[in-house]
Structure 1
């Protein structure tokens, strides 16, 4: 059996978009703050001030891969809203109480809590209004792969006949 990427993509209809074997090896994914999240200004004394609105704390996502096949993205176009199970993890600081609500819905089975020494700590996950609460006494951080709902901004591809390689890309921002 060959390599199968951890990335999962779902269309607006909720159906999974197939990523066949040979379409996800060496896949790269980046998550960065959207441009609207960054509103830093300096006063006349050159002191920086954060004027950002927390409502804009969203991710821009870029996915790129060179392999030998393509995912079934033929019906996905800019403006479509898709759901992705990210391959990139988010690490969040645990509150002093040992409980927190994650900032994003986690991919099932990816939540891990760690103590200050970096050892995994037992935790529980509970669905609550506003998300998923993680309780992990003694933990200082929680790491997980998020489920992101993104609006597609761009998609592309490139095929090299002699090298027998196909590149594909997809980018967008959280809705």
Structure 2
């Protein structure tokens, strides 16, 4: 039994994963070319029904809840497990392909937060998380998350095109037109 649940008084675990949640989590696993399994490390229980991406060692959870809900739970999970945590926020419409991502990276005695990121897809099929406002871009790679101060786009038009490509790719996946198998 763990006492970490007491860290956030009144905290409510995320609701059970919906079919859309599972599809979105598996989609991110496929983008990172990683095997995903249900989170066996979930001793805290706050972000239940998470997927654990084995190769990069990342916890991924999806929800239709808007920010700032569950940021505290992400923090506790990151501290308790020592793994990065991605919270994928999607629309409650199961076919909507707008996806925002909150990321917390545990470090030496501190946490790095990256909030309100969007999925970006380059022309070569590379996948990134780019900030809505300012901050580093994060490339989704087989061996983890690669932070870069250099954006994967050259201008606003290129950025919008990459966001639209990512949205279309995710939309096809959610509607069944794309499979990771």
- Whether TM-score is above 0.5 comes out as no
TM-score, length-scaled by structure 1? 0.22
Which structure has the higher relative contact order (CA within 8 Å, separation 6+)? 1
> Of Structure 1 and Structure 2, which has the larger fraction of its residues in helix?
2
Larger Rg computed on CA atoms: 1
